[in-house]
Amino acid sequence: MGRTEKKIETANAALRDLVEWLRACRKAAGLTYRELAVRTGLHATTLQRAASANTVPGLNVVLAYARGCDMLVEDAHLLWKRARREQARSGRPRGRPAPAPSLVSDRAELSSALRALYEEAGAPTLRDMEERAGAFGFLPRSSAHRIVNKQAVPRDRDQLHAFLRACEVPENRWKEWEGAWGRVLRAEKQESEVGLEAAAVLPGPQFYRPMVPHQRSDRAHAADLDTFLLSPRRLVESGAAAMTRIRSRGQDRVLLRALSAPVEPTLF
């Protein structure tokens, strides 16, 4: 029967269950790892590593191990999913459970529900998801990565179906997921339309001419001086008997220029 198996040391309780089951299967079949390798077509070291609990082994190895021991592959698949799910959830804080599809109301809840679905499927690799999704391009690895990391939701119904297929969701459950996905997209569309309507009634930006000093023409200054000089005289002339003007406006301007000219000192 070969050498004794190493002690199982792992914090992943589901992985411990899987490894104990694999070891029990080989023991019940009475096979060495070399003999099991002949039955499975896998290397003996690969099979021994699968039952070591160092990490969750690949699904293909677990299923081959079970077949080689004449055990039910359905049991092996279930135990593997649990181990992968526990591994995917380890190292991050426990939040509130993801809502059921029927209770999803917004994008954040839909993302959480899709992430939980991915974990329930055993957190398959992106390559496996792309292969399971069906036709090329239905679920590229980049899209699967964004969805499982809650950075995006399926862009259309076909991609939603591809994601459900990749997570091995039976088709009789697709309708509830279609309902959740469609509900979120309709709500977002309505919010967008309301936002556009609100933006349409808001006043546009107002522009005002800045109040800055500017140059005035000489003519404008002259007009101001006229007003300054003539305003007192107009008040006097408003009486019934207006006094005769002594000067014309032209004379006033001449007088103003004379008064404002610099005075040269007189030499005695």
Query: By C-alpha distance, which of 123, 47, 58, 130 is closest to 86?
Result: 123
Contacts of 3 (CB under 8 A, 6+ apart): none
Question: Domains (ranges, CATH) in the chain?
Answer: 13-89 (1.10.260.40), 101-197 (no CATH)
Q: Which residues of 145-179 are buried (b: 16+ CB within 10 A; e: fewer)?
A: eebbeeebbbeeeebbbbbbbbbebeeeebeebee
Task: Report pLDDT for 239.
Answer: 47
Encoding tokens for residue 75? 């049991």
Task: Report pLDDT for 257.
Answer: 60
Task: Report pLDDT for 145.
Answer: 97
Distance CA 163, CA 166 (A): 5
Contacts of 60 (CB under 8 A, 6+ apart): none
Encoding tokens for residue 139? 């679920």
Task: Report pLDDT for 235.
Answer: 43
Distance CA 122, CA 249 (A): 103
pTM attached to this predicted model: 0.62
In angstroms, the Cα distances linking 256 to 86, 222, 229, 260, 265 are: 100, 10, 9, 6, 20
Size of the chain, expressed as the number of residues it contains: 268
Single-letter amino acid, residue 236: V
Query: By C-alpha distance, which of 57, 49, 18, 21 is closest to 33?
Result: 49
Distance CA 101, CA 181 (A): 9
Do the Cβ atoms of 18 and 80 come closer than 8 Å?
yes
End-to-end CA gap in the chain: 141
The tens-digit pLDDT sequence of the chain (268 residues) is 456 788 898 999 999 999 999 999 999 999 999 999 999 999 999 999 999 989 999 999 999 999 999 999 999 999 999 999 999 888 666 667 889 999 999 999 999 999 999 999 999 999 999 999 987 778 999 999 999 999 999 999 999 999 999 999 999 999 999 999 999 999 998 887 776 666 666 665 655 555 555 555 555 555 554 554 455 455 444 444 444 444 455 555 555 565 555 555 444 4
